[in-house]
Amino acid sequence: MTKKATKAKPQYQFDAIVIGTGPGGEGVAMQLAKAGKNVAVVERYDSVGGGCTHWGTIPSKALRHSVSRLIEYNNTPLFSENHINRRVTFAEIMRHASGVVRSQSKLRSSFYDRNRVTLLHGEASFVDQHTLQVVRADGSRETLTANQIAIATGSRPYCPEDIDFSHPRIYNSDTILSLNSEPQTIIIYGAGVIGSEYASIFRGMGVKVDLVNMRDRLLSFLDAEISDALSYHLWNNGVVIRHTETYKSVEGREDGVVLNLESGKRMRADCLLFANGRTGNTDMLKLENVGLKADSRGQLSVNDNYQTEVENIYAVGDVIGYPSLASAAYNQGRFAAEAMLAGKANARLVEDIPTGIYTIPEISSVGKTEQELTVQKVPYEVGRAQFKHLARAQIASTQVGSLKILFHRETKEILGIHCFGERASEIVHIGQAIMQQKNGGNTLDYFVNTTFNYPTMAEAYRVAALNGLNRIFKD
């Protein structure tokens, strides 16, 4: 009797290949490498870090920090007597931002070296579900094979074909970082998170800003009071906001840019920043070779394990859509790696993901808004703390803003935290941590009974909690 021949297992160069080195790709690669897998990462650019490090989160927040400190200096009473307001150029603050980008990229590159991850530079595309072709900058090609592949290629600014982005005065949110002139006026088309952040940055530098919003209010996903506070603050600082407008055409001229709106209005400025949406970087992957298809925004569908319709191909980060946050993408990468190792992800993104918007001042929130609770008919109450009443804010001259706690008026369960003001993105995490507590730990009583350091901005939680309790009455 002859033995039945066993089918040989396919041999691949790598256990897994990750396409992209942003937060999502890094999360996948590090988790797999620490589990002992042979991992390769393909990055199309010379430096690792993806759009987050080079064009998005890091440089824009570094710009924002520099401008915010300049505003703080010019408005601080200690320095305001007998001094001339300082000004900086865009090129000057970009030098600081570029230094941060270099440091972050160098740090992230060391992670791959330390964990023995093979790093290749070039543009990857699918040959089949286990094979990638990588085209290097010099045109040379290399074929790679792996048992599993993770797509973490991120996103890029949406650029309509009827706008000439090669014009030296027309920018998107990536190319604006290469601005080498000092505009006196700028039109920002798109009043989402990116547009609102850059409106704050340019206005803080003394540039006249026209902000064109396609909707009837700024950042309508926010709690209405916080959205209104941002609108007022921008207006009070001289930003002209035009709501419910859409562009008809953009004219790039030698001496400026003219924006023609569908309403018949015409606007002119030294330059234009188009910041209306993003597109997933999937069009160069040749997805058709593996039977995958991205949607109209370049995004892929995945299941709870971040697995695409092709069982050995996974996707994380901006290419799968919401929440499109760097912090969430890194966790998605870790969870996807768990699924690649064990067939199932053991963890999920937390339900209450904080929103951080780096306008000047910052905005951050977690949980429900007043509008959502009202629609759901939840009996809630509000506790507020104005920053101008906090000793730490008075000391630091950062008195603009407030903290708002939404809580159930019967159980005192915290339902939402909304913060507007300097360091809001840090302050919100205290509330987020308490909201995650189980077995009755998530109540307003924590903030009432806890002793906070004094003076601190965290003290706002105690002030807001007491304010909220004072609003509750018994029949």
Residues of each annotated binding site for FAD: 43-52, 61, 153-155, 318
The residue behind tokens 């006249």 is 208
Q: Which amino acid is at 80?
A: S
Contact 410, 426 (CB under 8 A): no
Q: What angle do CA 58, 304, 19 make, to 5 degrees?
A: 45
Q: Which residues are annotated as a binding site for NAD(+)?
A: 190-197, 277
Indicate the SS3 state at residue 323.
coil
Q: Which of 273, 281, 348 is nearest to 318 (CA)?
A: 281
Q: Which residues are annotated as a binding site?
A: 43-52, 61, 153-155, 190-197, 277, 318
Burial of 129 (0-12, 13-18, 19+ CB in 10 A): middle
Burial of 362 (0-12, 13-18, 19+ CB in 10 A): buried
Cα 426 to the chain's mean position, in Å? 15
Q: Which amino acid is at 275?
A: A
270/257 Cα distance (integer angstroms)? 6
306/150 Cα distance (integer angstroms)? 9
What secondary structure does DSSP assign to 119-153, as a single string?
EEESEEEEEETTEEEEE-TTS-EEEEEEEEEEE--
- The CA distances from residue 19 to 31, 120, 128, 135, 341, in Å, are 15, 10, 15, 13, 18
b/e 11-42 (16+ beta carbons within 10 angstroms → b): ebebbbbbbbbbbbbbbbbbbbbeeebbbbbb
What is the helix, strand, coil percentage profile of the chain, to 5?
35, 25, 40
